[in-house]
Structure 1
Amino acid sequence: MKLTSEQRVTLHGFNNLTKTLSFNMYDICYTKTKEEREAYLEYIDEQYNSDRLKRILQAVTDIIGAHVLNIAQQDYVPQGASVTFLVSEGPIVEVPTESYDESPGPLPESVVMQLDKSHITVHTYPEYHPDEGISTFRADIDVSTCGEISPLKALNYLIHSFDTDIMTLDYRVRGFTRDINGHKLFIDHDITSIQNYIPDKVKEMYDMIDVNVYQENIFHTKCKLRQFDLNNYLFGYTKDKLGPGEEKKITERLTTEMDEIFYGKNTSRGSINTD
């Protein structure tokens, strides 16, 4: 059911629906030696330290119109960081009709909404393959809101805030709210795919897969970069510095790593095992 300013369902009390966006991204790098791996992880740890992540989450709260109640942040040793925002109802104004549109959100412009009992979190996970060849940085962000707006309006900004090879996106609406006659509403806006909240220029860059369970209000989208330029995955040098045969070998290792993450399973002889 799509609600507009002309056809707004009058609710019995506060909108109790909980809407959660889980944004999971991966950045992959080839690190040939221990020194390269340590340098890459040090770079990632600085690039996405808790202060930087806090600024990203602050922009997200501006987009969804939340009021920050409390912030907790932590940089871990040897790598990684976490930030949690506890947020509540922001300034209440008339809800813009575009908040119900399946379209990308701002980058960022404030969208002021009614929210309560909500939180935004980010955790980072730098890791590497035992033989030093592949290093992978993962960030998980959850935006959970109660109220009018879908946190999907923050997705466009999140995508542009990270250097992303692979994205896994989940959106779910939980619980129910009631209209004035006591009729339960299990979702308060139309949605056919998370992809509709991603700009066309971004979608052109990725191969995308949807798995949606409409009757349960569960939506899932996976994205993997289409174009592969080896220079973007070497840390501190370019492919012209590689020896004979190295370029092919490294390309195969990187693309295998990306396929394994994208398809969620280990590969056999470098190809996707669909058994």
Structure 2
Amino acid sequence: MKLTPDQRIQLHEFNNLTKSLSFNMYDICYTKTKEEREAYIEYIDEQYNADRLTSILNTVSDIIGAHVLNTAKQDYVPQGASVTLLVSEGPVVEVPTESFEESPGPLPSNVVLQLDKSHITVHTYPEYHPDEGISTFRADIDVSTCGEISPLKALNYLIHSFDTDIMTIDYRVRGFTRDINGHKLFIDHEINSIQNYIPEEVKQMFDMIDVNVYQENIFHTKCKLKAFDLNNYLFGYTKDKLSMEEQQEITDGLKLEMDEIFYGKNIY
């Protein structure tokens, strides 16, 4: 239900709450040979170079209603990228009513945007297992805002900006602000799960686990893709080039890798 202007909380001066969204994604791939591994890493470096990541973060800034003050970006050798944006809250005359609704926002190298009150960063981490032929690509994105703007509105777009097998999402509200009577407010909107900001069709695609500490305004959601098609995890060829025994061995290895990342522990 939308809040009317009379129903919204009236604050004393500036909203001092800090809202932080951390979006972590993994892409998993089977690379049998050194050549396949190098080709996969090269593909990832090209697909998610600093220029493209900068474009993604600029769109995030637009979605949450922030203004970019400064951009720092860097591609690394041999692989990886970073971007940081410094951003400020835009000139809001009236807070949009949808700012307080639990609903998905719009769709969609390291880049960092620097803001006067907030920042948006992304770092990429291509890596591989030295013996078992599995390569992974990880991207970490952090959106930290102060004032009325909410990073949760960018979550839907971020999910659709990456090919994701596993996602880990954290949201936390820090500090406090005051209403016009001087009472402290430790959060300025209702939330019971990050899943409230993920579209239903996306939730149907993932197994999901929530770990929430409501009294501390800490929310954590982990997601692992349900569907598994081996062809989506082979780089440069399809499973019909493999024997049934090879298909099963690779499938077992990939699923074990994803389970270990999802549950955050080694499984023996």
Please state how far the C-alpha of 1:94 moved relative to its aligned partner. 1.6
Match of 1:148 in 2: 148
* 1:119 maps to 2:119: yes
Does the residue aligned with 1:27 lie in a helix, a strand or coil? strand
Match of 2:257 in 1: 257
Q: Summarize deviations over 1:255-274 as a string: whole Å, max 9, x none.
A: 00000000000001xxxxxx
Matches within 5 A, 1:3-14: 4-14=4-14
Does the residue aligned with 2:74 lie in a helix, a strand or coil? strand
Whether contact under 8 Å (2:66, 2:149) holds in the other structure is no
Whether contact under 8 Å (2:15, 2:146) holds in the other structure is yes
Q: Within 1, Cα distance between the matches of 2:164 and 2:4? A: 34
Please state how far the C-alpha of 1:116 moved relative to its aligned partner. 5.5
Give the partner amino acid of 2:80: G
Whether contact under 8 Å (1:33, 1:132) holds in the other structure is no
Match of 2:204 in 1: 204
Q: Within 1, Cα distance between the matches of 2:30 and 2:6? A: 54
Q: Within 2, Cα distance between the matches of 1:69 and 1:129? A: 39
Match of 1:272 in 2: none
Q: Within 1, Cα distance between the matches of 2:93 and 2:139? A: 33
Whether contact under 8 Å (1:34, 1:132) holds in the other structure is no
Does the residue aligned with 2:117 lie in a helix, a strand or coil? strand
Give the fraction of aligned pairs with identical amino acids, expressed as a percent.
85
Whether contact under 8 Å (2:260, 2:267) holds in the other structure is yes
Q: Within 2, Cα distance between the matches of 1:102 and 1:9? A: 17
Give the partner amino acid of 2:252: E
Q: 1:166 to 1:18 in 2, by over 3 A?
A: same
Q: Within 1, Cα distance between the matches of 2:116 and 2:186? A: 18
Q: Summarize deviations over 1:222-263 as a string: whole Å, max 9, x none.
A: 000000000000000000001341000000000000000000
Q: Within 2, Cα distance between the matches of 1:3 and 1:173? A: 21
* 1:241 maps to 2:241: yes
Please state how far the C-alpha of 1:149 moved relative to its aligned partner. 2.9
TM-score normalized with structure 2 length: 0.95
Give the partner amino acid of 1:45: D
Match of 1:189 in 2: 189
* 1:178 maps to 2:178: yes
Give the partner amino acid of 1:223: C
Whether contact under 8 Å (1:212, 1:219) holds in the other structure is yes
Match of 2:227 in 1: 227
Q: Within 2, Cα distance between the matches of 1:93 and 1:236? A: 52
Q: Within 2, Cα distance between the matches of 1:74 and 1:205? A: 33
Does the residue aligned with 2:15 lie in a helix, a strand or coil? coil
Matches within 5 A, 1:130-169: 130-131=130-131, 133-169=133-169
Q: Within 2, Cα distance between the matches of 1:36 and 1:207? A: 30
Please state how far the C-alpha of 1:91 moved relative to its aligned partner. 2.8
Q: How many residue pairs align between the two structures? A: 261
Does the residue aligned with 2:39 lie in a helix, a strand or coil? helix
Q: Within 2, Cα distance between the matches of 1:181 and 1:17? A: 17
Please state how far the C-alpha of 1:72 moved relative to its aligned partner. 0.1
Tell which deviates more after alignment, 132-141 or 154-163: 132-141
The gaps in structure 2 that reach 5 residues or longer are 109-114
The gaps in structure 1 that reach 5 residues or longer are 109-114, 269-275
Tell which deviates more after alignment, 20-29 or 173-182: 173-182
Could you say what the CA RMSD is over the residues aligned between the two structures, in angstroms?
A: 1.3
Whether contact under 8 Å (2:87, 2:116) holds in the other structure is yes
